[in-house]
Amino acid sequence: MKSFEDFVADSAQAGHVSLIFEQGMYFVAEDLEKLLKLFEEARAPFEVIGGVAVNAHLFAAAQRSRSFVTRDIDVLMHRSDLDRIRQVANQRGYEAKRMIDGYALIGEGLHISEAIHILFVGEKPKSSYPAFNPLLDPQLMVLFGLTVPVAPLRDLLILKLNSLRPKDVVHLEILDEVGFITKEIETGLPSELRERLTLARKQFEHEQEGDAGEVDPD
């Protein structure tokens, strides 16, 4: 793992100089490296999902300016590998905690918002979700100098549209604006998720209209 100074120097060469932002990214990179070692030791296949996966696709497409800091790391894995993961995680100082929608591995001294959140292949985290979690089909991508198995865009969209929390809507808007949600990907989604995407886009438009209608008090 690079030192923070080297990490910032590389970012500065790419035109990114916000120390607060880069520090947040550096913490994510440290956690990601630990996660890769954990799953390698447990010999459990997985892929990164959530905000870190969105960032990986943005970085790969030279869209780093649209990236954002997220402190938790979400992964998709097989439930049959959970016991091995919990055993190795416990040895590495993580606390395994069952959640409503899956599991969390909480590092020592960290808040649950900074944990590794686990979802399981082929399951519905909540009965209200319209689609099951996709199968593993990772793309190997380089993020922070690490080779990371990342969910492909279609599967990432399924997961984002399933949960559709406020932060998921923000991530969907970014993916849409940079052209990642192609017609081919969209038409390949289940009908209920296509409907959710339409609703999310209406929300994008509504927010943009609201921003355009604001009056500058100065």
- What CATH number should be reported for the domain holding residue 147? 3.30.460
Tokens of 188: 């390949």
The residue with greater pLDDT, 100 or 213, is 100
Q: Are the C-beta atoms of 163 and 53 separated by less than 8 Å?
A: no
- Mean predicted lDDT score pLDDT of the chain: 88
pTM metric for this prediction: 0.86
**pLDDT for res 25:** 81
Rounded CA-CA distance 89/85 in Å is 6
Question: In this structure, is residue 163 part of a structural domain?
Answer: no
The DSSP bridge partners found for residue 56 are: none
Rounded CA-CA distance 153/201 in Å is 17
Question: In this structure, is residue 146 part of a structural domain?
Answer: yes
Domain that holds residue 68: 4-152
Question: In this structure, is residue 170 part of a structural domain?
Answer: no
Q: What's the pLDDT tens digit per position in 159-171? A: 999 999 999 999 9
Q: What's the pLDDT tens digit per position in 134-182? A: 999 999 999 988 999 999 999 999 999 999 999 999 999 999 999 999 9
Question: In this structure, is residue 35 part of a structural domain?
Answer: yes
Question: In this structure, is residue 182 part of a structural domain?
Answer: no
Q: What's the pLDDT tens digit per position in 12-41? A: 555 555 556 667 688 889 999 999 999 999
Question: In this structure, is residue 195 part of a structural domain?
Answer: no
Sign of CA dihedral 23, 24, 25, 28: positive
Question: Is 97 strand, coil or helix?
Answer: strand
Alpha helices in 61-182 (DSSP H): 82-91, 153-163, 166-177
Number of folded domains in the chain? Answer: 1
**pLDDT for res 18:** 59
| pLDDT (mean) for 60-85 | 93
Question: In this structure, is residue 102 part of a structural domain?
Answer: yes
Rounded CA-CA distance 84/62 in Å is 36
Q: What b/e readout covers 27-59, taking b as 16+ CB neighbours within 10 angstroms?
A: ebbebbebbbebbeebebebbbbbbbbbbbbbb
Question: In this structure, is residue 8 part of a structural domain?
Answer: yes
Tokens of 25: 């990214």
Q: Quick one: pLDDT band at residue 121, thresholds 50, 70, 90? A: very high
**∠ Cα 6 8 13 (to 5°):** 95
| pLDDT (mean) for 88-107 | 93
Question: Is 129 strand, coil or helix?
Answer: coil
Q: For residue 152, give the nearest of 137, 141, 163, 167 by alpha carbon.
A: 137
Rounded CA-CA distance 119/78 in Å is 8
| Residue count of the chain | 218
